[in-house]
Structure 1
Amino acid sequence: MDYATYIAGLPRVLAGAGVIFRDAEDRILLVEPNYRRDGKWILPGGTVESDEGETPRQAARREAAEEIGLDVALGPLLAVDWVPGTGRPPLVSYLYDGGVLDEAQLAAIRLQEAELTAWRLVAQDEAGSYLAADMQRRIRAALGALAAGRGAAELEDGYGPADLRAR
């Protein structure tokens, strides 16, 4: 078997990358996509264009710039989540710290209208009413890693290793 045939036969995994932006009141920035049928909001982010050589960090920054018009140097990786799928390959989701946005940055937000209809800052304890359950778990774990000053949270569908053992 030649190398190209071998590579073509390997399992597929999708990759996505997002950014957690906060304001001075520690609210998180969420965006409302126009393509979701469930009405749930998400973080700025999207697909890692790995076929083009893009890394997750580069994708997160590019997607934030495209979606909300802010090109911000990203802080640390906060979470890596293995997200199983139905009808699609699994997804590895990377979440990065976008830092605390000041008033000028918030005023400069411009939505990519082809994909997004709105943005808002949401208190962390109210985010659950906007987010899908797995996204809510992922953000909670990422913010926990940030607050603790430790490395990125390792997740499976938003659950950490201790949660998985308890299931």
Structure 2
Amino acid sequence: MTTSDFAAYIAGLPRVLAGAAVLFRDVEGRVLLVEPNYREGWGLPGGTVESDDGESPRQGARRETAEEIGLDVRPGRLLVVDWVQGPGRPPLVAYLYDGGVLTDADFTAIRLQEEELLSWRLVPRAELDTYLRGALAGRVHAALDVLEEQGTGAAELENGQRVG
């Protein structure tokens, strides 16, 4: 296969997007959510994995967290992988990592990326569905379940729902 044949082959393969986020909590178990200015609803610190530049999902989660909230925290274990279909775009593979429990000093150090975010807040699990929409809500609930289930691996989801 020539170089141009290989390039044509690669160009013809299906595409998939990748996103990565980090789940941070406080000592009471509340989840850190961020409010973007470019769409309705709330989310987690994270964003698109820059795979064309060689970035891995874990690296993307760390970079996006540092950019969005000013905390350069090494992501912990993988909690969830979610395959999310969407209209008008390729499927998204969303990776969600454990960010651990932040201290009061960590929360004080948060500096929002004003180009993308309006605010942040800590939300109890019982109120998450008020802030999170669709697959993201399912992803966060599944991640919290994984954290409660000692000794389990990451949850596999499709469109925010556990597979199997």
TM-score bracket relative to the smaller structure: over 0.9
Deviation track 1:47-88 (CA, whole Å, cap 9, x = no partner) reads: 000000000000000000000000011110000000001111
CA deviation after TM superposition for structure 1 residue 114, in Å: 0.2
Listed as ranges, the gaps of 5+ residues in structure 1 are 163-167
Equivalences for residues 21-32 of structure 1 within 5 A = 21-32=24-35
* Residue in 2 that maps onto 1:111: 112
1:95 aligns with 2:118: no
Report the Cα distance in structure 2 between the residues aligned to 1:13 and 1:7, rounded to whole angstroms: 13
SS at match of 1:143: helix
SS at match of 2:161: coil
**After TM superposition, which residue ranges in structure 1, 4 or more long, deviate above 2 angstroms?**
none
Amino acid at match of 2:66: A
Report the Cα distance in structure 1 between the residues aligned to 2:143 and 2:64, rounded to whole angstroms: 19
1:134 aligns with 2:135: yes
SS at match of 1:20: strand
* Residue in 1 that maps onto 2:18: 15
SS at match of 1:51: helix
* Residue in 1 that maps onto 2:154: 152
Report the Cα distance in structure 2 between the residues aligned to 1:134 and 1:110, rounded to whole angstroms: 27
CA deviation after TM superposition for structure 1 residue 99, in Å: 0.3
Report the Cα distance in structure 2 between the residues aligned to 1:114 and 1:136, rounded to whole angstroms: 24
How much identity, in percent, do the aligned residues show? Answer: 66
TM-score under structure 1 length normalisation: 0.94
CA deviation after TM superposition for structure 1 residue 134, in Å: 1.5
Q: How many residues of Structure 1 are paired with residues of Structure 2 in the alignment? A: 160
Report the Cα distance in structure 1 between the residues aligned to 2:93 and 2:61, rounded to whole angstroms: 13
Amino acid at match of 2:9: Y
Report the aligned-residue RMSD.
Answer: 0.8
Amino acid at match of 2:68: E
SS at match of 2:24: strand
The range that moved more, 145-154 or 55-64, is: 145-154
SS at match of 1:144: helix
SS at match of 1:17: strand
* Residue in 2 that maps onto 1:76: 77
TM-score under structure 2 length normalisation: 0.95
Report the Cα distance in structure 1 between the residues aligned to 2:102 and 2:36, rounded to whole angstroms: 21
Report the Cα distance in structure 1 between the residues aligned to 2:77 and 2:134, rounded to whole angstroms: 24
Listed as ranges, the gaps of 5+ residues in structure 2 are none
CA deviation after TM superposition for structure 1 residue 142, in Å: 1.0
* Residue in 2 that maps onto 1:165: none
